[in-house]
């Protein structure tokens, strides 16, 4: 998949602003960014559901403007909002969807059985979808997107709104798909999801790509090895930050805490104590994509 100067405008509003990216077959590629960064608009363009305003886009070597149906035949889409039929049974949702792809009913039923086992819903096959939990519905949406055995799976925020256990189950299933050679394209505003799932990712903000690379490289490039988080009782984090100037390689002032970037967190905490400051809480942790995003945009990923 290749995008050059890919742009999406809605009237005066530019949702995606001339982005470039390349995604290789078999790769697991992420779009990380806060809400409104243009991730979903990008997903809708690459899944051939939304026309490109300008720029070029090739998906599976084809042009979405002319070959939409042919591309969609080879794509599995997990949209941000589930589009399951709540009144139909779990199995019928798969059968109906498979029919859209003109698969023979027998083939769909065979695949459905495997898929329902894969997402651990085999025992609910004949139940209606409506009462299922959010995590189960999400897994069913993923199973449904796999009925057509796609070469490319596009997942728009696959685990938003799920509890931690459900998220880990989804991640595990996606990881297995990746091992089977399915190309994954994932959007998320969870840095842990991006770190778990993506070989390579772009960070989007305000419709633009602000950084691109494998997660560890991005962290190495834009953050230090460790981060010290300090919380002070007073509200004047900025004033405290001024006093700490020079101790850390870099710092960020957040409304509720102060982040100090360093390669040796424990030593920095010692130095802070020695300088006479008494933080209410201190936390030393490894840098994450969250810090990369904060550094690049000055804002947190999830407000």
Partner 1 sequence: MTSALGTETAGLGIARGAEEPPSLRALRYWAYQYKRTWRGSITTSFLYPVLYLTAMGIGLGSLVNRHAHEVDHVRYLVFLAPGLLASTAMQIGGNEATYPVMGAIKWMRTYYAMLASPLRVRDVLFGHLGWIAVRLVTVSGIYLGVMAAFGTIVSPWVLLALPAAVLTGLAFAAPIAAFAATQETDTAFSTIYRLVLIPLFLFSGTFFPVTQLPAWLQYVAYATPLYHGVSLCRDLTLGQLHPAGDVAHGLYLVALTTAGLWAALRTYRSRLVV
Stretch that binds partner 1, among 67-75, 191-199, 205-213, 279-287 (CB under 8 A): 67-75
Work out how close the CB of 64 gets to partner 1 at its nearest, in angstroms, rounded to a whole number: 11
Cβ proximity to partner 1: between 84 and 90 the closer is: 84
Residue from 5, 51, 216, 298 touching partner 1 (CB under 8 A): that is: 51
Q: Is 23 buried (19+), middle (13-18) or exposed (0-12) by CB count in 10 A?
A: buried
Distance CA 190, CA 32 (A): 8
Cβ proximity to partner 1: between 51 and 214 the closer is: 51
At a CB cut-off of 8 Å and minimum separation 6, what does 92 contact? 85
Work out how close the CB of 105 gets to partner 1 at its nearest, in angstroms, rounded to a whole number: 10
Evaluate whether 187 touches 47 at the Cβ level (below 8 Å).
Answer: no
Please report, as residue ranges, which positions from 148 to 187 form the binding site for partner 1 (by CB under 8 A). 148
Distance CA 193, CA 210 (A): 19
Distance CA 80, CA 199 (A): 21
Evaluate whether 262 touches 224 at the Cβ level (below 8 Å).
Answer: yes
Length of the chain: 303
Structure tokens at 210: 């602000």
At a CB cut-off of 8 Å and minimum separation 6, what does 118 contact? 143, 146, 173, 176
Among the residues of the chain, which ranges form H helices? 39-46, 64-73, 90-100, 105-118, 134-146, 164-179, 191-197, 215-222, 237-243, 265-274, 289-297
Residue from 14, 20, 73, 212 touching partner 1 (CB under 8 A): that is: 73
Q: Does 143 bind partner 1 (CB under 8 A)?
A: no
Q: Does 47 bind partner 1 (CB under 8 A)?
A: yes
Cβ proximity to partner 1: between 79 and 206 the closer is: 79
Evaluate whether 268 touches 260 at the Cβ level (below 8 Å).
Answer: yes
Q: Does 283 bind partner 1 (CB under 8 A)?
A: no
Please report, as residue ranges, which positions from 79 to 98 form the binding site for partner 1 (by CB under 8 A). 79, 81-88, 92, 95-97
Stretch that binds partner 1, among 71-79, 179-187, 275-283, 292-300 (CB under 8 A): 71-79
Q: Does 18 bind partner 1 (CB under 8 A)?
A: no
Q: Does 125 bind partner 1 (CB under 8 A)?
A: no
Residue from 18, 49, 125, 284 touching partner 1 (CB under 8 A): that is: 49
Q: Judged by CB under 8 A, how many residues of this single chain contact partner 1?
A: 31
Residue from 4, 99, 250, 299 touching partner 1 (CB under 8 A): that is: 99
State the residues that interact with partner 1 by CB under 8 A.
10, 47, 49-51, 68-70, 72-73, 75, 77, 79, 81-88, 92, 95-97, 99-102, 145, 148
């Amino acid at each position: 998949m290749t995008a050059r100067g890919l742009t999406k405008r809605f009237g005066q509003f530019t949702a995606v602003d001339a982005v470039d990216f390349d995604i290789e077959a078999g790769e697991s590629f992420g779009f990380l960014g806060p809400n409104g960064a243009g991730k979903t608009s990008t997903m809708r363009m690459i899944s051939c559901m939304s026309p490109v305003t300008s720029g070029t886009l090739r998906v599976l070597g084809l042009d979405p403007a002319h070959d939409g149906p042919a591309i969609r035949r080879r794509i599995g889409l997990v949209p941000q909002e589930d589009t399951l039929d709540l009144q139909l049974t779990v199995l019928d949702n798969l059968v109906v969807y498979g029919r859209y792809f003109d698969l023979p009913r027998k083939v769909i039923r065979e695949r459905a059985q495997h898929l329902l086992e894969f997402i651990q819903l085999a025992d609910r096959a004949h139940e209606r979808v409506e009462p299922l939990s959010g995590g189960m519905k999400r897994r069913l949406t993923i199973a449904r997107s796999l009925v057509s055995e796609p070469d490319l799976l596009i997942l728009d925020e696959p685990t938003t709104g799920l509890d931690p256990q459900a998220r880990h189950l989804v991640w595990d299933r996606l990881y297995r798909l990746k091992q089977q050679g399915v190309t994954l394209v994932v959007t998320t505003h969870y840095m842990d999801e991006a770190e778990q799932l993506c070989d390579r990712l772009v960070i989007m903000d305000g419709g633009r790509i602000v950084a691109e690379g494998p997660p560890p490289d991005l962290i190495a490039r834009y953050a230090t090895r460790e981060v010290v988080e300090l919380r002070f009782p007073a509200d004047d984090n900025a004033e405290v930050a001024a006093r700490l100037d020079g101790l850390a390689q870099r710092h960020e002032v957040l409304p509720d805490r102060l982040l100090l970037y360093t390669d040796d967190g424990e030593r920095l905490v010692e130095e802070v104590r020695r300088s006479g400051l008494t933080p209410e809480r201190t936390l030393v942790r490894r840098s994450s994509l969250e810090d990369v995003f904060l550094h690049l945009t000055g804002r947190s990923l999830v407000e």
